[in-house]
Amino acid sequence: MLKNMLKIDLSYQKVKYAKIFTGIVILLLLFLIPVFIHKPYYLHIFILAIIYIIVVCSLRTVALSGQVSIGHAAFMAIGAYASGILAKQFGLTPWLTIFLGAVVSMLFALAIGFPFTRVRAFYFSMVSLFGGIAIMNLIRVAEKWTGATSLAGIPPLDSLNIPGIVQITFSNQKAAYYYFILIVALLCLAFLYSLEHSRIGMTWKAISQSHQVASSVGINESRYRVLALAVGCFFSGLAGACYAHYNLVLTPSTFGFLPSIYLVMYMLVGGLGSFWGPVLGTAIFVLVPEIFRWMKEYTPLLVGGIMVIVVFLLPKGMVSLFYRNEPKIRKIHKKEALRYDA
């Protein structure tokens, strides 16, 4: 019966309105969460999830141009450490340093982006993997600035004081941080979404499908790839800087090899084809281990189980559950012939 319901084929207009309606409802729910949920612990989980959603969406932006970067957490680290050091050592206000951190991350991406355009596809992934680990170790080496294992004492966001209208303190106030990060995330996602559906986004997709054909039409492949990397790293650095001023302490291992791979995994399990895939994937993988924390050392089994189920039953990612007119759940009994799949 569920299958029948899923096969309902409605007109395009109705589906579009349904999508908009659902979007608005979800948005409303997100804004109302702190009203319903009072325990700061749950707000903490949501804040972390939203921060990682920004990072994974920016990773997808980079991946749009055919470069799957397995070292993306390192750019989050650059933004985080830059913002933290600027705020802590130089006393700048976090509202400014968050933006500066993102800019530093983008500059770094620009610096290494051009040499990296020499390598494509799989080789780019490998080079980015090593680059990510190198950046993390570089952070450890620069202990004078970053503190060997942790950069502590990062100031939280300064309070917003507009006399007469609003006064918000951020110290130890999870709800304030939640709204802040939610607004930032919505702005970032809106920007990335519009970028993806703009001419630049189309150019990226063209490059990723065939860089030779794209070059033959006059597209400067390296410029667009560096642009993708820069945009992706800007938002990753932004999210990292927000993380720094929320968490108040930074450790290099948060941004190392395994976290980078997990970011790619969140994106893949969520679904590479859709913009909302990474959002879904990240939300599931950040929220589920926290919700099921009571399983103590058995919790990773649940995460592994989800990964196995998704990879077998939903080849295009979890977001394919919402696709229309596509085979939803693939049959696992068919004998698989050797074939080239996208």
* Residues 4-33 within binding reach of another protein (CB under 8 A): 5-6, 8, 10, 14-15, 18-19, 22, 25-26, 29, 33
- Residues near 65 by Cβ (< 8 Å), separated by ≥ 6? 204, 205, 207, 208, 224, 225, 228, 229
In the complex with another protein, which residue's Cβ is closer, 300 or 327?
Answer: 300
Q: Does the footprint of another protein cover residue 62 (CB under 8 A)? A: no
Q: Does the footprint of another protein cover residue 249 (CB under 8 A)? A: yes
Q: Which two tokens stand for residue 56?
A: 């994974």
Looking at 93-101, 102-110, 203-211, 254-262, which segment touches another protein (CB under 8 A)? Answer: 254-262
Contact 270, 319 (CB under 8 A): yes
- Residues near 96 by Cβ (< 8 Å), separated by ≥ 6? none
Contact mark string toward another protein, 71..110, x via CB under 8 A = ----------------------------------------
Among 24, 96, 111, 126, binds another protein (CB under 8 A): 126
Contact 267, 60 (CB under 8 A): yes
Looking at 53-61, 126-134, 207-215, 226-234, which segment touches another protein (CB under 8 A)? Answer: 126-134
HSE-up (13 A, CA, CB side) for residue 179? 12
Looking at 36-44, 103-111, 157-165, 225-233, which segment touches another protein (CB under 8 A)? Answer: 36-44
Residues 171-210 that bind another protein (CB under 8 A): 171-174
169: left (phi over 0), alpha (psi -120 to 50) or beta: beta
Euclidean distance between CA atoms 129 and 134, whole angstroms? 9
Q: Does the footprint of another protein cover residue 298 (CB under 8 A)? A: yes
Q: C-beta of 157: minimal distance to another protein in Å?
A: 14
Strand partners, 48: none
